[in-house]
């Protein structure tokens, strides 16, 4: 079957909120509408897989960015029947089944902690008589997986299965850079350690 371009979509309802990442698969019949493959939830309650049919990015009420990440054989894509607009949790077609095989992030043990990062903390201990002693502490933060990390895992899984080219990972990483401010300074620690 003919290949079809799939897209990474990033939406954000406000500048103070982290971007939501998802994969959008345009419909063969109506390319401005398609299926949004994503996980929804929050770190404090966990996430769940969601397949939103008839999603039209241009009609979104939230600002969004969209990047083509590669071509997928249409045989792997489920096109819902006419009038089948709804939100589903049961996957259809190879792409959605693959999405369901990538576990959705669970409840975070420390949802206020930064995402997947190692920080060095510097403590300058100065005593008047003894001079100064610089101590460095390195601490591995707990992993806080959200929709962004899940989407990357899903893209990597599609690459590993041969459904999409490896360039999709590089495109995803470049788009991740648009959310670096939020990712690297979730609780304001990064600027202190710099």
Phi, psi of 96 (to 5 degrees): -70, -40
Question: Is the per-residue pLDDT at 35 higher than 80?
Answer: yes
The 3-state secondary structure of 132-190 reads: EEEEEEEEECCCCCCHHHHHHHHHHHHHHHCCCCCHHHHHHHHHHHHHHHHHHCCCCCH
| β-sheet bridge partners, residue 66 | 9
Percent with pLDDT over 70 in the chain:
72
The helix/strand/coil state of 22 is strand
pLDDT attached to residue 100:
97
pLDDT in tens, 80-136: 877 678 899 999 999 999 999 999 999 987 766 665 543 333 333 444 444 444 444
What is the pLDDT of the chain when averaged over all its residues? 78
Host domain of residue 86: 3-193
**pLDDT of 61 above 80:** yes
Number of independent structural domains in the chain: 1
């Amino acid at each position: 079957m003919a290949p079809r371009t799939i897209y990474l979509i990033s939406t954000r309802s406000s500048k103070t909120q982290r971007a939501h990442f998802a994969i959008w698969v345009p419909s063969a019949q109506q390319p401005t509408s398609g299926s949004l493959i994503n996980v929804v939830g929050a770190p404090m309650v966990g996430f769940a897989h969601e397949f939103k049919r008839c999603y039209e990015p241009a009609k979104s009420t939230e600002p969004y960015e969209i990047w083509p990440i590669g071509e997928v054989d249409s045989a792997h894509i489920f096109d819902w029947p006419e009038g089948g607009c709804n939100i589903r949790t049961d996957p259809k077609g190879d792409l959605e089944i693959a999405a369901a095989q990538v576990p959705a992030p669970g409840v975070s043990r420390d949802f206020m902690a930064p995402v997947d990062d190692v920080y060095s903390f510097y403590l300058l201990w100065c005593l008047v008589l003894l001079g100064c002693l610089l101590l460095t502490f390195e601490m591995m933060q707990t992993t806080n997986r959200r929709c962004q990390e899940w989407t990357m895992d899903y893209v990597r899984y599609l690459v590993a299965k041969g459904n999409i080219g490896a360039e999709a990972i590089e495109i995803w990483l470049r788009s991740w850079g648009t959310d670096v401010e939020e990712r690297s300074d979730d609780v304001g620690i990064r600027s202190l350690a710099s």
